[in-house]
Amino acid sequence: MLRRSAMVVALLLVAGLGFAASGQWIGVGPFGGTVTSLATFPDQPLKVLAGTMHGLYLSDDAGASWCRTGQINFEVDNLVVASSDPQVVYGTGFTYLSWGWASVLLHSTDGGATWVERLTPAMPSSSSHYPLYALGVHPLQPAVVVAGTAGGILRSADSGATWEYVVGSRSVGVKAIVFHPTQPDTVFAGVVDRNSDSPWGGVIKSTDGGKTWSPSREGLRRTYLGSKEMWAPVMGLTIVPGTPDTIFGVVGQEFWSTTYAEVVRSTDGGAQWTSVLSFDYAPSNYGWNTLSLALDPTDPRTILVGSFSYGLRRSTDGGATWEDASGGLRCAGASDDPYNHDVKPVQEVYTVALLPGNGPRALIGTDREGVWLSDDLGGSWRQSNQGLAAMTVKALLADESMPGTVLVGTEEAGVQRSDDGGQTWTPANTGLYDGCAPYRGEPGGSDCPESSVRRLVTLPGAAGLGAGQCTSFYQSSDGGTSWSASPGSPWSQAFALDPRDPQVMLSAAELFWNESRVKRSVDGGQTWTWCGAFPVEEGYSTSVHDLLFDPTSSLVVYAATYNGLFMSVDSCASWSPRSSGLVLSCGPVTRVLAQTVAPYRMVAAMGCGLFLSTTGGRNWSPVGPAGESISDLIADPDHPSVFYAGTATKGVLQSTDGGLTWTPLGRGLPSGVASLLLSPSGRQLLAGTAGGSVWLLDLPTTPRRVLRRSGQGAPPALAVEATPLD
């Protein structure tokens, strides 16, 4: 029998039941995620700062372990440590505000322990703010910052509190900024401008601290699309320590989904550039992130270049010659043919860093698979993600047949499994995909590859467990150790088992984008029949987010959809809308649940809060929190008046009165909640987060609350059937 709130974790079982808590959430993994930037500290050779798709992490042991730092919950790029004061660190990121995406400057004055967030200024004649692509910090004045944006260059003399626009145009994207280490007012900028006559394309240079600029780009003219000459788009710049006239640049070229990349070098302070390393073809959707470059701080002749499609290259002679440095990063079944997109050749690399020492130690930040490190300059690599919990967990499930086993469905790494209550985790993806997480850099590739598992369910009988990807549904009969495609079953966009007869199942199948239909099985998923279509206006479609069997009748089911709530009283053969009082303008109904005893209240979750119905869904009223996006909603199966809601910004909310009132639960949850799971003891709650992996809250023991049953109370179906259907 499917119980979304059922969980057996041997190390976490404690007797008792809690209905209120003010305890601390504890992160338990799994570890990994997408690491987009790495920064080292000149005065602390073992310290590394990592920016991820969902926040910041610090390591003080050269990347061997990590801990979360700051309260940043969004993607962080372009980390820069001030050379004159390593306590000053800057970063860029994008966060979502009520009016849309906004670029943010991050500023720390304590080495990355705490951060101040500052929005960039608004662009002229626009409500949008300048998106920050690159940062450079003055080598003697850590408050002076020069920023590359989509539209030119900004300069600040007060750590980003105020800005002045100094150069550029709407067609210009400045992707790299670097200050000269011994000539502090000399700054170089790498520019993307496809206008072949542009005065700004390639590399530009300032000798007055970023106030005025002139071209510095001889040798960067390129012929694209067979015949058209343009300035090469320069995506990164690095000045060689001890040889300040030598500058390396990385070039990314993206046209018609075909990406080229190269490393260029200047030995005369940027006046003349030549190519020293090129990649003929790289099948990547991420053309502007194809290459990253790092120098050995103790021997700048040693260079490591990371790519999104070809792994790593190493030079020990200042870029004169190169060799492969991808040992251990190759994927199972990988092909050297760049046109073979079935299996990615190596880990996709976003960022590279080299730490001083014997070797030296190399670290790379990768797409979805966290940090890898090498102590032999790329001869071999090993993952090093302990404490770096930056995954999005969309599904949580415990296999009741295997006590102590917890499975989570992640966006980045498929199914991860723990047999010790979250102490350790191992991949459980045999049959889903093999080797590395599936390559998603291919042009036209899916935004939701096989590594994204968004639903885990318990299936009846020998079927065991089910896992829903974006396009497929899989089954496991061995607790998630291995998986096989489910014959005839639609992928589980939404899924429900009848609590009275687990052979009766509903599953929502996506027919095409934003259009779903519900299927029904009466034999445990062996065969399926289509349910009736939803009565939406002509020309409109709907997608299903959740399905619920009425607690009193197998004939009555509810569907939470993009177009509101629908109810069927004939086993899903036909549907009627039940959305009166719901605010459909704020998005879909994402979850729906009902008390299993009188007074049979129902709760619906939406993108603007929670809604309550005492009439079987016929009428709804808001119960809070107003304007908050609700991602998940579960009930305590043993105590029907206790509900839990996962939110985007307010953590987890708890109701002990059937959804009438809600209060925050616990402290310290760092990210928005994507999924919830309650232990059968009622003492532990797990929250899968949007970028912070899984967090655990112990619920303190309080006196058991007894639901007094006084009066009949109409169940949802009867409350609706008392009046004619619309």
pLDDT of residue 100: 64
User: What pLDDT sits at residue 120?
Assistant: 86
Q: Is the pLDDT of residue 521 over 70?
A: yes
Q: Which residue reads 């299936």 in tokens?
A: 459
Least confident of 12-26, 48-62, 510-524, 583-597: 12-26
> 314 pLDDT exceeds 70?
yes
* Number of residues written out for the chain: 726
At residue 569, the pLDDT reads: 96
What mean pLDDT do residues 303-310 have?
A: 87
Query: Looking at residues 625-650, what average pLDDT do you find?
Result: 91
Alpha-carbon distance of 154 to 133, in angstroms, equals 11
Residue 49 pLDDT more than 70?
yes
pLDDT category at 726 given cuts 50, 70, 90 is very low
Give CATH 2.130.10.10 domain extents, the chain. Answer: 10-28+391-433+449-721, 70-218, 233-388
DSSP 217: -
CA 155 to chain centre: 31
Mean pLDDT, range 399-408, rounded to an integer:
79
Cross-strand pairs, 194: none
Tokens of 350: 């976003």
Tell me the mean pLDDT in the region 326-355: 70
User: In what helix (H) or strand (E) does residue 719 lie, and over which residues does it extend?
Assistant: helix 716-721
Q: What contacts 710, CB < 8 A, 6 or more positions away?
A: none
Q: What is the predicted pLDDT for the residue at 94?
A: 83
C-alpha to C-alpha distance for 47 and 620, rounded to whole angstroms = 53
Specify the residue for token string 């089910």.
466
For the segment 515-519, the average pLDDT, to the nearest whole number, is: 80
CA distance from start to end of the chain = 33
Task: Give the DSSP H or E segment for 187.
Answer: strand 187-192
Q: Give the residue-averaged pLDDT of 653-662.
A: 94
pLDDT one-digit tens code per residue, 60-105: 999 999 999 988 888 998 999 999 999 999 999 987 766 667 789 9
Handedness of CA 50, 52, 57, 59 (dihedral sign): negative
Q: How far apart are CA 19 and CA 577, in angstroms?
A: 34
- What confidence score (pLDDT) does residue 12 get? 34
Note the pLDDT tens digit of each residue in 90-149.
999 987 766 667 789 999 999 999 999 998 887 776 667 888 999 999 999 999 999 999
- Check: CB of residue 395 under 8 Å from CB of residue 456: yes
pLDDT digits (tens, 9 = 90+) for 196-214: 677 888 999 999 988 899 9
d(CA 481, CA 240) in angstroms, rounded, equals: 49
Range 153-161 contact pairs with CB under 8 angstroms and sequence separation of 24 or more = 153/177, 153/189, 153/210, 153/213, 154/120, 154/121, 154/130, 155/209, 155/210, 155/211, 159/88, 159/90, 159/107, 160/90, 160/105, 160/107, 160/118, 161/118
Residue type for position 684: Q
What pLDDT is recorded for position 575?
A: 95
Q: Which residue has the higher pLDDT, 530 or 725?
A: 530
Q: What gap in Å lies between CA 480 and CA 425, rounded to an integer? A: 13
Beta strands in 557-606 (DSSP E): 557-561, 564-568, 576-577, 589-594, 602-606
What integer is the mean pLDDT of 568-596? 94
What band does 515 get if pLDDT is binned at 50, 70 and 90?
low
Taking Cα atoms as reference points, which of 508, 573, 567, 519 lies closest to residue 542? 508
Distance separating alpha carbons of residues 25 and 676, to the nearest angstrom:
13
What is the reported pLDDT for 369? 87
Q: How confident is the model at residue 3 (pLDDT cuts 50, 70, 90)?
A: very low
Residue 7 above 50 pLDDT? no
> What integer pLDDT is reported at residue 601 of this predicted model?
93
CA distances from 110 to 107, 114, 141, 224 (A): 9, 7, 16, 46
Query: Would you place residue 176 in the very low, low, confident or very high pLDDT band (cuts 50, 70, 90)?
Result: very high
**In this prediction, what percent of the chain has a pLDDT beyond 90?**
49
Q: Specify the fold of 70-218.
A: Methylamine Dehydrogenase; Chain H (2.130.10)
| Helix H or strand E segment including 408 | strand 406-410
pTM of the predicted protein model: 0.86
Q: Does 399 score more than 80 pLDDT?
A: no
363 pLDDT exceeds 90?
Answer: yes
- Could you tell me which residue, 639 or 317, shows the higher pLDDT? 317
What does the mean pLDDT of the chain come to? Answer: 83
Do 591 and 545 touch, CB atoms closer than 8 A?
yes
Please report the pLDDT score of residue 448 as a whole number.
60
Q: Which amino acid is at 381?
A: W
pLDDT tens readout for residues 385-396? 999 999 999 999
Q: Distance between CA atoms of 309 and 620, rounded to whole angstroms? A: 51
User: Helix %, strand %, coil % for the chain, to 5?
Assistant: 0, 45, 50
Contact 684, 6 (CB under 8 A): no
Q: What is the pLDDT of residue 230?
A: 82
| E strands present in 193-337 | 202-206, 214-215, 221-224, 228-231, 234-239, 247-255, 258-266, 274-282, 291-296, 299-307, 312-315, 323-324
403-415 average pLDDT score: 87
Name the pLDDT band for 15 (thresholds 50, 70, 90): very low
CATH, range 10-28+391-433+449-721: 2.130.10.10
pLDDT of 539 reads 56
- In this model, does residue 723 exceed pLDDT 60? no
Fold (CATH) for 233-388: Methylamine Dehydrogenase; Chain H (2.130.10)
SS3 for 68-97, per residue?
Answer: EECCCCCEEEEEEECCCCCCCEEEEEEEEE
Of residues 513 and 104, more confidently modeled: 104
For the segment 425-461, what is each residue's pLDDT rounded down to a tens digit?
A: 999 988 887 666 655 554 444 456 677 888 888 887 6
CA distance 692 to 565: 30
Phi, psi for residue 28 in degrees, rounded to 5: -125, 10
- Asked if residue 650 lies in contact with residue 666, where contact means CB atoms within 8 angstroms, the answer is no
- pLDDT by residue (tens digit) across 247-287? 999 987 655 445 678 999 999 999 999 999 988 665 554 44
Q: Which two tokens stand for residue 642?
A: 């206790």
Amino acid in position 239: I
Cis peptide leading into residue 625 (ω within 30°): yes
> Rounded to an integer, what distance in angstroms lies between the CA atom of residue 631 and that of residue 629?
6
What pLDDT is recorded for position 193? Answer: 81
Q: How far is CA 586 from CA 515, 536, 583, 596, 608, in A?
A: 19, 17, 6, 28, 6
CB burial of residue 593 (10 Å; 0-12, 13-18, 19+): buried
Region 463-474: what's the mean pLDDT? 79
Instruction: Look at residue 714 and tell me whether its pLDDT is greater than 70.
Output: no
CB 654 within 8 A of CB 662: yes
Integer Cα distance of 272 and 246 in angstroms: 10
What is the predicted pLDDT for the residue at 225?
Answer: 59
Strand partners, 373: 363, 382
